[in-house]
Structure 1
């Protein structure tokens, strides 16, 4: 049985070596190219980072979730901070959303409502990064403030 697969190849040249890296999606290749621009991140480490998954990596960068990025083999605290700093302001998240219509970020909550929920939870003393992370990962069936706030408090405690 023959099956065709499209690969997006990146030819990575350094002063000491040349390597080819293959990706099944353009977005993976784009993120790889962003990662290898970061000081201390080579091709092999970038591939390790991508093993986390594109969506999880972008979400971790946007929410400044160091622990998730530090969990990658070969990535320490300082490198995780560099990765977050470099990726968090890149426009990669919207591409991930467009790619996967089922992602939790597709919950159609108005930005003002989300902002109000974030404000309420941070005023209650919860860490803003933790609040952001919880709100990014809400189950799709939660669309009402009366459901979201108790859910968030339960998972933040």
Structure 2
């Protein structure tokens, strides 16, 4: 399938980019966090992609790194998580924060993602806890305490994105 695209940024929308590769424009849905990293139209861009095939649609989903793409594909293995939900999760949480929340069973952090309820968050923890490479992350990352989850919840309640709330928490 299509594993990677390298070309020029032709356009970008709310949750997608169009990458011109050899005169062909590929529309790729991407996490909103990736949109912030992009340069201007015409700048070079590289995406690691997942081609999602459905009965009536072929859709490309892209990530900035292979690691992020692997995490995206692991999210797709969870019952009830489709590509749009997986993209939403990666838009709201950094890969390390997501892995840490899953490793520590922090359902409260996962439920801060729009569209992810308590049951889905519990299913994410249950299904992915044994599948993710967490050893290095757990060794270097501080524990995400209930107070941290409460701070993230309060900031998202005030209108900040989960990523902004995490950045504010790290700066304390």
TM-score grouping bracket, smaller chain normalisation: 0.5 to 0.7
Which residue matches 1:89? 130
Deviation of 1:5 (Å)? 2.6
Which blocks of at least 5 consecutive residues in structure 2 are unaligned? 1-39, 149-172
Deviation of 1:94 (Å)? 4.6
Structure showing the higher strand proportion among its residues: 2
Q: Runs of at least 4 residues of structure 1 off by over 4 A?
A: none
Deviation of 1:18 (Å)? 1.9
Deviation of 1:15 (Å)? 2.9
Which blocks of at least 5 consecutive residues in structure 1 are unaligned? 98-103, 108-130, 138-157
Alignment coverage as a number of residue pairs: 105
Secondary structure at 2:119 match in 1: helix
CA distance in 1, matches of 2:79, 2:101: 19
Which residue matches 1:106? 140
- Please report the TM-score for the alignment, with normalisation by the length of structure 1: 0.59
CA distance in 1, matches of 2:115, 2:57: 20
1:70 has 2:122 as partner: no
CA distance in 2, matches of 1:5, 1:105: 33
Structure showing the higher helix proportion among its residues: 1
What RMSD in Å do the two structures reach over aligned CA positions? Answer: 2.6
Which residue matches 1:31? 71
Larger radius of gyration: 1
